[in-house]
Amino acid sequence: MQSRTERPDTVFDAPKGNWVDRLAPAATRPWLRLSRADRPIGTWLLLLPCWWGIGLAMMADGPRPFDLWIALACAIGAFVMRGAGCTWNDITDRKIDAQVARTRSRPLPSGQITLRGAYLWLILQGLIGLVILLTLGRAAVWMGVASLALVAIYPFAKRFTWWPQVFLGFAFNWGVMLAYAAHMGRVDPAPVVAWLGAICWTIFYDTIYAHQDADDDALIGVKSTARLFGANSPRILVGFALAAVAVLAVAVSLPGRNLLIAWTGVLAFGAHLGWQLRNFQPDQGDVCLRLFRSNRDSGLILGLFLAIAGLA
pLDDT value of position 283? 92
pLDDT value of position 7? 46
Measured CA to CA in angstroms, residue 129 lies from 79, 176, 240 at distances of: 9, 17, 31
pLDDT value of position 9? 67
pLDDT value of position 266? 98
**Full pLDDT tens readout for the chain, 312 residues:** 333 344 456 777 777 888 998 899 999 999 999 999 999 999 999 999 999 999 999 999 999 999 999 999 999 999 999 999 999 989 998 888 888 777 888 888 888 999 999 999 999 999 999 999 999 999 999 999 999 999 889 888 888 999 999 999 999 999 999 999 999 999 999 999 999 999 999 999 999 999 988 887 887 788 999 999 999 999 999 999 999 999 999 999 999 999 999 999 999 999 999 999 999 999 999 999 999 999 999 999 999 999 999 999
pLDDT value of position 6? 42
pLDDT value of position 146? 94
pLDDT value of position 216? 77
> What's the CA gap between 172 and 204, in Å, rounded?
13
- How do residues 172-186 score in pLDDT, each as one tens digit? 999 999 999 999 999
pLDDT value of position 237? 98
> What's the CA gap between 78 and 115, in Å, rounded?
23
pLDDT value of position 8? 53
